[in-house]
Structure 1
Amino acid sequence: MDLANYRITPNQTPIKLSDYPTTDNKHFNEEELKEKLIPESIKKLQELHLKLHAEEQKGIMVVLQAIDAGGKDEAISFIFSNLTAQGLKTTSVKKPSETEVKHDYLWRIHEGKPARGEISILNRSYYEEVIAPRIHDVLDQDPLPDHLIDDDIWVTRFRQLNDFERYMTENGFPVIKFFFHVSKDVQKERLLERMKDPKKNWEFSFSDIEERKHWDTYQEVFEDMLTHTSTEYAPWYILPADDDWYARYIISEAMIDVLENLDPQFPEISGEDQKELDESIEMLEKE
């Protein structure tokens, strides 16, 4: 797989989502992905994650962003839930609380950031702050000083988010971002499945139908976000999310790529610690 096919190159012409397919699986059938390719990829990912957790030198922050029914939750279930639980953190970013609104918009993200040795997953993320307020034109309802709300506020926030991700990366916490590019028809199918299947009703929210009415505006806002915030140090990957299993395979392979670049290693015991370890082994063996 050539991950470059899905990674957005920085400083290119404005992104048009219509140029990116929502289905792109030309090589593998679903059974092969489910039974062979993804399990093999996950096994490798598990080994690298265990080293990252043991080494405790760096962490990774993963951003999952999509419109409703894009496939974020399923990616967490089928890919990330297979990793070592102690080295994994998942945070769902929802509508900000009254307390969160009183702080700067990145304040509520800090608990979701990874510790060294961890992979943290943001199920939706701080990018909601350049999406939802634009869709619903509600920025003036936040307690922001009037002089901060102008035509340049989104450009300013894009710069701030890029700066934040550069800060994370330069401190040993690379950021990798996945955008689930799903078609309107497939979203419709998935929403109807949730609505009609009693076992999936809990996944459905009436707000999903309301948000769907803003489909075209969402696409425009996503395009602006992707164009201005995919960087060399924190790239966006556009996933062909109609192919749900193939999208999960891309995620797994991209995570392996990040971890291999970090090259985590199991800590080595030496010196006095090694001597004490040898003595402890000998003591236990003589019991």
Structure 2
Amino acid sequence: MKNIKIDHFKASGPVVLEEHKTIYDLNASEDKIEKELEEVRVTLGKLQDTMYAHGKYAVLVCIQGMDTAGKDSMIREVFKDFNTRGIVVHSFKTPTPLELKHDYLWRHYLRLPARGKFGIFNRTHYENVLVTRVHPQYVLGENLPNVTSLEDIDETFWERRFKEINNFEQHIADNGTIVFKFFLHLSKSEQKDRLLRRLEKKEKNWKFSPGDLKERELWDAYQHCYEDAINNTSKPHAPWYIIPADDKATARYIVARVLLDTLQTYHDIEEPELDDEIKAHLESYKQQLENE
């Protein structure tokens, strides 16, 4: 199986999504890829246990992608071997009336992981420069003081949002959160096949919405917005990784590998030492239990 270099997938320089492949050949069978993924995620799970005890870093994993890109199954398969006490998943939907009374980042602040934990954002704060940019009328629902019409939502507005998001991510990184951002790069033809499977397989019907087809018609607009968001917000403290997503097994392995290889560079993550007083009396504690 091909060894991968995670920097190959990191967004750097001006990103043009058309130039990034949506499929990546690992030179391995699906069974082999899944076996390698299992080994990586077991190691990740053990590392997370250490991070939980260490309590100095949090990890925020942001997953974005077009409909059917495989976000849900990515989360299920990559984090399967984590202790549930150390991981929290949030799937962000349309903002509630309460959330709309606050700034657009407020609900994301509330769900940031505590130090020692992993937080997974399934769709993220980037929806505020993706969906709302394709559908700017949604911004009017935020009831912002200086936005009274669509004409107020200009390029300066989006530039300000990129700056706010960069500041948000810089702030949490400075305070101990390791940020990963994954764009699951799906081809339009593969999305078509996956939507058809949702219609053809009864057990998948519940996933389909007619709105999926309306959003598909806006494919080019979304690709432009993703490209712009990645170019404006991929930073050393919060990099974007562009993950070829046409093959789910390969995409899951690459994401798991990026997580593990990056976290293993943090050489200060280790289990805390026992207090000297406790360490000096371990044998007596053991004898006390054995003599019960």
TM range, smaller chain? over 0.9
Say yes or no: does 1:202 pair with 2:202. no
Q: Give ranges in structure 2 of 5+ residues lacking alignment.
A: none
Say yes or no: does 1:27 pair with 2:31. no
- Percent identity reads 36
Distance in 2, matches of 1:160 and 1:278, equals 55
Deviations 1:177-221 (A, max 9, x none): 000000011111111111221111222222211111111101111
Aligned to 2:284: 279
Q: Give ranges in structure 1 of 5+ residues lacking alignment.
A: none
Q: Work out the number of aligned pairs and report it.
A: 283
Deviations 1:70-128 (A, max 9, x none): 01101011111321110001000111111111100000112320101100000000000
TM-score normalised according to structure 2 size: 0.93
SS in 2 for 1:200: helix
Aligned to 2:107: 108
Contact persistence 1:63–1:125 (CA under 8 A): yes
Deviations 1:15-67 (A, max 9, x none): 21111000111422212101x21111112111111111121111100000011
Match of 1:6 among 1, 5, 9: 9
SS in 2 for 1:159: helix
Contact persistence 2:186–2:245 (CA under 8 A): yes
Say yes or no: does 1:190 pair with 2:189. no
Aligned to 2:159: 155
Contact persistence 1:49–1:259 (CA under 8 A): no
1:73-92 paired onto structure 2 within 5 Å? 73-92=72-91
Tell me the amino acid that sits aligned with residue 20 of structure 2: Y
Aligned to 1:236: 240
SS in 1 for 2:98: helix
Contact persistence 1:61–1:173 (CA under 8 A): yes
Distance in 2, matches of 1:132 and 1:32, equals 37
Aligned to 1:268: 273
Aligned to 1:211: 215
Deviations 1:145-176 (A, max 9, x none): 12674430111111111111111111010110
Say yes or no: does 1:40 pair with 2:45. no
Return closer, same or farther for 1:195/1:211 CA change in 2, 3 Å cut-off.
same
Distance in 2, matches of 1:53 and 1:204, equals 38
Distance in 2, matches of 1:185 and 1:110, equals 36
Aligned to 1:118: 117
Deviations 1:214-259 (A, max 9, x none): 1110111111011111011110000000021111001101110232
Contact persistence 1:22–1:182 (CA under 8 A): yes
1:58-97 paired onto structure 2 within 5 Å? 58-97=57-96
Return closer, same or farther for 1:283/1:230 CA change in 2, 3 Å cut-off.
same
Distance in 1, matches of 2:109 and 2:198, equals 32
Aligned to 1:128: 127
TM-score normalised according to structure 1 size: 0.94
Contact persistence 2:45–2:79 (CA under 8 A): no
Distance in 2, matches of 1:282 and 1:203, equals 58
How far is the alpha carbon of 1:278 from its aligned partner? 3.3
